[in-house]
C-alpha cells in the first residue's frame, strides 16, 4: 500500500457548444470539437491522444478516460462523480501548433474539459494498492533513445495458435511507461503502476505478451503473461 495522489471530481454539468475558437483561457486548442460517440461497440476502447500534424484526436473516450489523459494519472485514482463517467463515450477533435509539447497539450485538454463540462477537480492523498515497476536482477535489455520523435508505444497483433500483442516503445521514460502500462496490459494489471525502477533517461524497447483473452492457451505453456514479458 502506498499513498497515491488522487483527483476527485467536484462538479460536472451537461455538454456545451460543440465547436468554438480559442478566446479567454490559455493554453487552449485553436479549434475543438467535442461530441457524444453513438457507436454501438460492446467493448469500447479509447484511441488517440497524440498530436500529429497539428491535429489531436481522442475516440470513444469515457469522461474517466479524458480526465486520466488530461491530468496524466491512472483512471483508478479518479474518485467521485456520477456513473455516466464510465458509460458515456465522447470523441474529441482539436487543432494546435505542430510543435506543441505533450505537457501543454494536456493543459489544453484540461481547459477544454473545464469549459465544455464545467469540470472541477481537487487532489488528495489516500492510501491505495499499486503495482511497482522495479529493476530486475539482470541488466535491463533496453536501448538508450537518441531523443528523436515523440514518446509512444505502438502495438501490433501476431495471429496464430497463440496470439501475441507486440509493443514497440520509443523515447519512453520509465515513469511514462509506468503511466501507460495499466492501459496496455489490462486486466492483467488492475491497479495504478508507479515507477520504482531507478532507470533515468529515455529508452527504446520491444516486448510481446499473450492478451488476457487468450490466456487459456497458457495451460499448455505457450502463452506469455505481461509479468513474464516484462521480466524477459
Extents of the domains making up the chain? 2-126, 131-231
Q: Is the pLDDT of residue 96 over 90?
A: yes
In terms of pLDDT, which residue wins out, 214 or 12?
A: 214
In terms of pLDDT, which residue wins out, 107 or 136?
A: 107
- Say how far apart CA 153 and CA 166 lie, in whole Å: 10
Query: With bands split at pLDDT 50, 70 and 90, how would you rate the model's confidence at 113?
Result: very high
pTM score over 0.85: no
- The pLDDT score that the predictor gives to residue 92 is 96
- The pLDDT score that the predictor gives to residue 21 is 40
DSSP letter assigned to residue 24: S
* Residue 125, C-alpha cell as written in the block: 492523498
- Say how far apart CA 30 and CA 158 lie, in whole Å: 39
* Residue 219, C-alpha cell as written in the block: 495451460
Whole-Å CA distances, 168 to 25, 42, 80, 177, 223: 37, 27, 35, 12, 19
Amino acid at each position: 500500500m502506498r499513498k497515491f495522489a488522487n483527483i476527485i471530481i467536484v462538479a460536472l454539468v451537461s455538454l456545451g457548444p460543440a465547436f468554438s475558437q480559442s478566446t479567454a483561457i490559455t493554453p487552449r486548442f485553436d479549434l475543438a470539437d467535442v461530441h457524444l460517440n453513438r457507436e454501438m461497440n460492446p467493448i469500447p476502447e479509447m484511441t488517440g491522444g497524440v498530436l500529429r500534424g497539428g491535429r489531436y484526436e481522442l475516440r470513444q473516450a469515457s469522461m474517466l478516460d479524458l480526465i486520466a489523459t488530461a491530468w496524466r494519472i491512472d483512471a483508478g485514482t479518479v474518485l467521485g462523480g456520477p456513473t455516466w463517467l464510465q458509460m458515456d463515450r465522447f470523441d474529441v477533435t482539436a487543432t494546435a501548433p505542430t510543435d506543441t509539447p505533450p505537457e501543454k497539450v494536456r493543459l489544453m485538454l484540461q481547459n477544454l474539459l473545464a469549459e465544455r463540462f464545467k469540470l472541477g477537480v481537487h487532489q488528495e492523498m489516500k492510501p491505495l494498492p499499486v503495482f511497482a515497476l522495479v529493476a530486475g536482477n539482470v541488466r535491463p535489455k533496453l536501448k538508450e533513445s537518441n531523443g528523436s520523435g515523440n514518446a509512444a508505444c505502438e502495438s501490433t497483433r501476431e495471429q496464430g495458435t497463440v496470439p501475441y500483442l507486440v509493443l514497440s516503445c520509443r523515447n519512453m521514460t520509465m515513469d511514462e511507461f509506468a503511466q501507460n502500462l495499466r492501459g496496455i496490459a489490462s486486466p492483467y494489471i488492475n491497479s495504478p503502476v508507479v515507477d520504482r525502477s531507478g532507470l533515468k533517461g529515455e529508452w527504446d524497447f520491444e516486448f510481446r505478451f499473450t492478451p488476457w483473452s487468450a490466456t487459456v492457451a497458457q495451460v499448455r505453456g505457450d502463452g506469455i503473461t505481461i509479468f513474464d514479458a516484462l521480466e524477459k
